[in-house]
């Protein structure tokens, strides 16, 4: 199984998710998405893999969320994904990707059932 984690090493939940993957003997590809932001196309693909509305991919507690007016319910997926492409810290974390499926592993315990 080739697994990838969109990881923020400063985030305790992201570190915990990585540890859970490694405890299962997995050696995930680690992508520091703040240092190497995802393109708009990659975010679109990620949204499909997650199977969620773009809004579910956002960290609504970030200052940029308020500053950019992203709480506006009239904003569509494309506008929200563009905001994440331009401001990667808005991406909810950690995200684990396994082939064609992905999971926002928050809380990290969600990985336990997902990896079965």
Mean pLDDT of 1-30: 95
- pLDDT tens readout for residues 20-38: 999 999 999 999 999 999 9
Instruction: Report CA torsion sign: 74, 86, 44, 96.
Output: negative
Q: Please write the tens of the pLDDT for every residue from 49-100.
A: 999 999 999 999 999 999 999 999 999 999 999 999 999 999 999 999 999 9
The b/e string for 32-47 (b: 16+ C-beta within 10 A; e otherwise) is ebbeebbeeeebbebb
Q: What is residue 2's predicted lDDT score, i.e. its pLDDT? A: 86
pLDDT for 116 equals: 86
Task: Give the number of domains in the chain.
Answer: 1
Q: Which residues span the domain enclosing 26?
A: 3-114
Determine the pLDDT at residue 81.
Answer: 99
11 has catalytic annotation: yes
Nearest Cα residue to 88 out of 54, 39, 47: 39
CATH number of the domain residue 22 falls in: 3.40.30.10
- 46 has pLDDT over 80: yes
pLDDT number for residue 1: 60
pTM comes to 0.94
Please pick, among 3, 4, 6, 11, the residue that the annotation labels catalytic: 11
- 6 and 95 in contact (C-beta within 8 Å)? yes
Distance of CA 85 to the CA centre of its chain: 12
């Amino acid at each position: 199984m080739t697994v990838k984690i969109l990881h923020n090493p400063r985030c305790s939940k992201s570190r915990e998710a990585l540890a859970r993957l490694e405890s299962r003997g997995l050696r995930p590809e680690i992508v520091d998405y703040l240092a190497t932001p995802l393109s708009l196309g990659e975010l679109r693909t990620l949204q499909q893999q997650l199977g969620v509305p773009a809004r579910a991919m956002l960290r609504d507690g970030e200052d940029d969320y308020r500053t950019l007016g992203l709480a506006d319910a009239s904003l569509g997926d494309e506008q929200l994904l563009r905001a994440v492409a331009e401001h990667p810290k808005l991406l909810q974390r950690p995200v684990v990707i396994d082939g064609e499926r992905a999971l926002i592993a928050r809380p990290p315990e969600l990985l336990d059932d997902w990896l079965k």
